[in-house]
């Protein structure tokens, strides 16, 4: 049985799910390109989905697109601000970055969800949800046309994040509590405004608050019983805390059964930010000559709920492993077929069932690769079977790649490590050993190549 860390329960719990699972993932805000840190969440969602489907569970996935309502600190919509800065229409900018996001997730072998609602096209169910919250006295209106959620009407607030209402204080950027609010921790469901990206509502023209968008889209497309809700750890508070309060208050029930959050990703030890100049896009990875799936493999080398410090060295190492495994799979494909190595495969699947322990699963694969007692045909079937979940395209070189002689893959990886350590003598010795096996090695700025 699959076990996962449930944020609300604060522990790893068994997922007792039916044959059909409803899963919601908070999607991108399309005012810029997603960087590799943003993409980690979607690889997590895809891995979880593939593990569930391996167990013959049908997954209905929904992932929204935020193209309205995500504000800057000054109250300006980020999509509007960037459209003005780039001299493009709001629609052109949002659709352009949405397409770029889909191209990136496709390159990472992330399966498209069944539902991808855009916030700008889902305003009607948002207005209906806000009206229901007002009717049930979980929300209130103010004279200027704003609508606020009354946080103190939801006693379970804080169960996700541990932030109790009585301990919350106004954000440090705000000098005084908004006088329109009954309580400083209340948040806006509807904001009055004119101009582009605004709509008519019972409270006047304006646009929805960011938090209410996910409540409305998830409820309208998945219903009031959602099995899994995923997102990055940065969304746990306030976004998911507020979303849970809205959805549960509107339906009178606990809507989400399990909340799952992925940890932050750092690059070279720092949080990725435009201000620090260390934002890395997937296109930067491919322009460096690396396979985009090296990013997916680098993610899998770490547990999803552990902070990951990604570097160019780890990406290059992942790329080498990926290329070596593809070459080995192509080599094994030349051997007679044999049944899977059941023991190894079962250990991989057990690791993934244990809170998606992908690092342990990869260790088993490396062990299998080196195990000389397992016939090549069995290794082939095992790697291809596991790759249905890992989605690393390990069969891509079958039928067209040169086949490495036995033992050459390990020598290539040892030589790559020697070059990284600047142990040139060892690198030269390993080059000679590879030459004796008929493998010619060349060194390039992006690493070694072989033929």
Annotated binding site for ATP: 274
Rounded CA-CA distance 226/100 in Å is: 28
Rounded CA-CA distance 93/30 in Å is: 8
Encoding tokens for residue 30?
């399309």
Other C-beta atoms closer than 10 Å to the C-beta of 222 total: 21
DSSP state string for 436-450 = HTT--EEEETTEEEE
Identify whether the C-beta of residue 78 lies closer than 8 Å to the C-beta of residue 31.
Answer: yes
Rounded CA-CA distance 349/141 in Å is: 52
Rounded CA-CA distance 347/178 in Å is: 55
- The residue written with tokens 């469901």 in the block is 189
What sections of 200-289 are H helices per DSSP? 210-222, 241-251, 282-287
Binding-site residues, in ranges, read 26, 214, 239, 243, 274
Binding-site residues for Zn(2+), in ranges, read 26, 214, 239, 243
Rounded CA-CA distance 338/395 in Å is: 17
Torsional sign, CA 25, 30, 31, 36: positive
Encoding tokens for residue 176?
């005084």
What sections of 227-375 are H helices per DSSP? 241-251, 282-287, 293-300, 312-332, 342-353, 358-370
Encoding tokens for residue 126?
């948002």
CA dihedral 328, 330, 332, 337 (to 10 degrees): 150
Q: Can you name the residues that pair with 14 across neighbouring β-strands?
A: 3
The C-alpha angle with vertex 286 and arms to 284 and 292, in degrees rounded to 5, equals 110
Encoding tokens for residue 276?
């620090």
Q: What's the length of the chain? A: 451
């Amino acid at each position: 049985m699959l076990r996962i860390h449930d944020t609300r329960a604060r522990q790893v719990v068994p997922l007792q799910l039916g044959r059909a699972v409803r899963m919601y993932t908070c999607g991108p805000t399309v005012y810029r390109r997603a960087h590799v840190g943003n993409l980690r969440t979607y690889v997590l969602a895809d891995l979880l989905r593939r593990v569930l489907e391996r167990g013959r569970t049908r997954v209905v996935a929904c992932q929204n697109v935020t193209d309205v309502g995500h504000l800057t600190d000054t109250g300006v919509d980020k999509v509007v601000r960037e459209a003005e800065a780039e001299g493009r229409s709001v629609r052109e900018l949002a659709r352009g970055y949405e397409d770029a996001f889909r191209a990136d997730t496709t390159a990472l072998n992330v399966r498209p969800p069944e539902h991808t609602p855009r916030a700008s096209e889902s305003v009607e169910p948002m207005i209906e949800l806000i009206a229901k919250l007002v009717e049930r006295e979980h929300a209130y209106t103010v004279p200027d046309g704003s609508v606020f959620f009354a946080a103190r009407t939801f006693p379970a607030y804080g169960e996700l994040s541990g932030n109790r209402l009585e301990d919350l204080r106004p954000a440090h950027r705000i000098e005084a509590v908004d006088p329109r609010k009954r309580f400083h921790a209340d948040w806006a469901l509807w904001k009055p405004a004119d101009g582009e990206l605004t709509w008519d509502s019972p409270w006047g023209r304006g646009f929805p608050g960011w938090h209410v968008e996910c409540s409305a889209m998830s409820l309208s497309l998945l219903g009031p019983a959602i099995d899994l809700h995923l997102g990055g750890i940065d969304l746990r508070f306030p976004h998911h805390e507020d979303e849970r309060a809205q959805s549960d208050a509107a339906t009178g029930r606990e809507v989400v059964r399990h909340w799952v959050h992925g940890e932050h990703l750092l690059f070279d030890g720092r949080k990725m930010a435009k201000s620090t100049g260390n934002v890395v896009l997937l296109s930067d990875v491919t322009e460096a000559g690396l396979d985009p799936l090296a990013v997916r493999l680098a993610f899998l080398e770490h547990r999803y709920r552990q902070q990951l410090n990604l570097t160019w060295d780890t990406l290059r190492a992942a790329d080498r492993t990926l290329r070596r495994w593809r070459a080995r799979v192509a080599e094994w494909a030349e051997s007679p077929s044999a049944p899977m190595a059941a023991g190894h495969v079962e250990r991989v699947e057990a690791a993934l069932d244990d809170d998606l322990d992908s690092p342990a699963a990869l260790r088993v694969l490396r062990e299998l690769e080196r195990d000389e007692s397992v016939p090549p045909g069995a290794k082939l079937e095992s790697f291809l079977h596991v790759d249905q979940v890992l989605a690393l395209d390990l069969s891509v070189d079958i039928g067209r790649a040169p086949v490495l002689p036995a033992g050459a893959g390990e020598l290539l990886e040892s030589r790559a490590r020697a070059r990284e350590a600047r142990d040139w003598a060892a690198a030269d010795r390993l080059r000679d050993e590879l030459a004796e096996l008929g493998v010619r090695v060349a060194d390039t700025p992006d690493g070694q190549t072989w033929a």
